[in-house]
């Protein structure tokens, strides 16, 4: 019985190590391990709103078109900015995230963006509006091959395969140990 417990403990340790390795490798592949954001408040009491666009589309604010890059605005508390998000042909809005890191607040504005416009009213903290455009596969057409969205999707799939392999391995070892334990118990009864 002690050998079985030692074996199970060893297996669980190996599985835990495998899962942690897969998680760490996946985070490093997608670049999600760490995001550094800094905010500065200007002397005249304005806060920074960073607007980031990635993929094939444009964010319009009436004055500027933001395409694949970052634009920073200096806004006073209560000042409102209206953005219109327009994907290029063959693309769609993937995600729209509004973050206020100093307040540890994140809001998903994707549904609001699909309705046409997003209104951001500045609070007394810096903020980031991230807009991601992805290929629209609903019509059967695919956007440019090798885009960042495709690479991210591939990374997610490989991580899932790692999880499944680790779970399958653990299941096989446990099934083997269970079968061996039953045979030992059967031989002791005979």
- Per domain, the residue ranges of the chain are 2-31+153-185, 46-143
* Percentage with pLDDT > 70 across the chain: 60
Residue 147 phi, psi dihedral angles, 5° rounding: -70, 165
- Predicted confidence (pLDDT) at residue 97 exceeds the cutoff of 90: yes
Q: How far is CA 47 from CA 9, 35, 76, in A?
A: 53, 20, 6
Looking at residue 16, its pLDDT comes to: 55
Report residue 88's pLDDT band, with 50, 70 and 90 as the boundaries.
very high
Question: In the structure, what pLDDT confidence band is assigned to residue 36 with cuts at 50, 70 and 90?
Answer: very low
Structure tokens at 74: 């200096």
Confidence of residue 32 (pLDDT cuts 50, 70, 90): very low
100-119: average pLDDT: 89
What is the CATH code of the structural domain delimited by 46-143? Answer: 2.60.40.1140
Question: Is 120 in contact with 98 (CB distance < 8 Å)?
Answer: yes
- Mean pLDDT in the chain? 73
């Amino acid at each position: 019985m002690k050998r079985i417990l030692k074996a199970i403990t060893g297996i669980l340790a190996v599985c835990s190590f495998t899962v942690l390795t897969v998680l760490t490798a996946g985070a490093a592949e997608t670049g999600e391990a760490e995001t550094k954001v800094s905010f500065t408040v200007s002397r005249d009491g304005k806060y920074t709103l960073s607007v980031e666009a990635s993929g094939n589309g444009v964010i319009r604010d009436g004055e500027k078109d933001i395409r694949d890059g970052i634009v920073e605005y200096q806004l006073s508390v209560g000042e409102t900015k209206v953005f219109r998000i327009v994907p290029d042909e063959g693309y769609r809005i993937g995600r729209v995230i509004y973050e206020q890191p100093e307040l540890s607040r994140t809001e998903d504005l994707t549904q609001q963006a699909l309705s046409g416009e997003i209104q951001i009213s500045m609070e007394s903290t810096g903020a980031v509006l991230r807009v991601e455009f992805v290929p629209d596969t609903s019509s059967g057409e695919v956007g440019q091959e090798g885009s960042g969205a495709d690479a991210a999707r591939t990374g997610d799939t490989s991580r899932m395969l790692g999880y499944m392999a680790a779970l399958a391995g653990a299941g096989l070892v446990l099934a083997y140990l269970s079968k061996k334990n039953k045979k030992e118990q059967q031989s002791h009864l005979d």
